[in-house]
Amino acid sequence: MIHGHGGNIYAAAAALGCKPDEITDMSSNINPLGPMPGLLEDLGQHIGSVCMLPEVDAARAVQAYARWQKIPENRVIAGAGTTEILYQLPRALEIDSALVVGPTYGDYADALEINRVACRYFMREPQNDFQPDMDALRKAAQGADAVFFCNPNNPTGGYTDTRALASLARSLPETYLIVDESYLPFVLDRGNESMAKTDLPNTVVLHSLSKMFCIPGLRVGFCAAPGDLAEKIAAYCPPWRVNALAQRAVIRIAQEPEKARAHAEKTRQYLCEQRAQMYDRLSDAPGLTVFPSDATFVLMKAAFFTAAEIASHLLDHRLLIRDCSNFKGLSKHFFRISLKDARTNENAARLIAQFAENRYQGGVLK
């Protein structure tokens, strides 16, 4: 890790002199409804598996996942989270130059830098709600070995239609299009429209189970790529990379597709409602721009205060949010809220609105 990430609940708890579970982590982009029903109980019943080595190549988990997602098994690779795979891609695909579509998840650039790959940025613009200009992106990508694209994007939350991305990939046949779909399952009515199903020869797709199924501590993710590319990537994957409980979680989820589908649909509906309420509650907050989102989080920009200031204020109320000033392309006025339970969301919106009003009026914060 070169540049670091966002909210650290353990550091925040230490600073406040409290326990981590006394802070609500609104910086973490996981399902606010929690894991799929029955999943944790099932993992508890298999806790003894940690006393044995896991399956060396996670073959059964890969097979279960491939069948569930209707992707040929030879195109699927499992890893200890999508981030592990991400750091292996530059070497596996022999990438010498890359274009990152930002502002976005910092580990794309970090993975390239660690592998000594030249990295350029193509920036989405806030005046367009961070929707990318695909024609301009196509021109900017000319000559790059790879384009890194997060969909929906973190931290801006916007979704780009799969057809537009497929068109981009077809127009750049000599360039790898690496699409991170970690938040795709949260997109209402589009959660199953993965680029992995387009079967384009130059497209590599990252899938995460951590976000939708609320298991980030298990570290499990997948990569889907054409057979020849999958072989190249697999050659750089270490043995025993997916732990025993993570493999069990994949198998359990994949073997109960209807339960998984119902959990995902319930989550999408809930997030749609909560985002709408968040927009409504903050619509009159002076100087505050709330950007549209299709993910678990909402990006905001303040005119009268900085992200560090609102983050500090909310932490006093035991709410941890994401200061987005360390995202390349965003200023010190951008911050991100990950949606949680309805009461927490309402409380966060109230505190942000009050903070904005007080700063606008030059009043004293309460």
Q: Which CATH class is domain 39-256?
A: alpha beta
| Cβ–Cβ under 8 Å, residues 154 and 295 | yes
Give the model's pLDDT for residue 15. Answer: 78
What is the DSSP secondary-structure string of 108-129?
HHHHHHHTT-EEEEEE--GGGT
Query: How much is the pTM?
Result: 0.94
Tens digit of pLDDT for each residue in 294-331? 999 999 999 999 999 999 999 999 999 999 999 999 99
Please name which of 76, 38, 75, 30 lies closest in space to residue 260, comparing C-alpha atoms.
38
Spans of all domains in the chain? 9-36+259-359, 39-256
Give the model's pLDDT for residue 1. Answer: 46
The residue type at 134: M
3 state DSSP class of 254: helix
9-36+259-359 has which fold?
Aspartate Aminotransferase, domain 1 (3.90.1150)
Give the model's pLDDT for residue 2. Answer: 46
**Residues of the chain with confidence (pLDDT) below 70:** 1-7, 363-366
Give the model's pLDDT for residue 366. Answer: 43
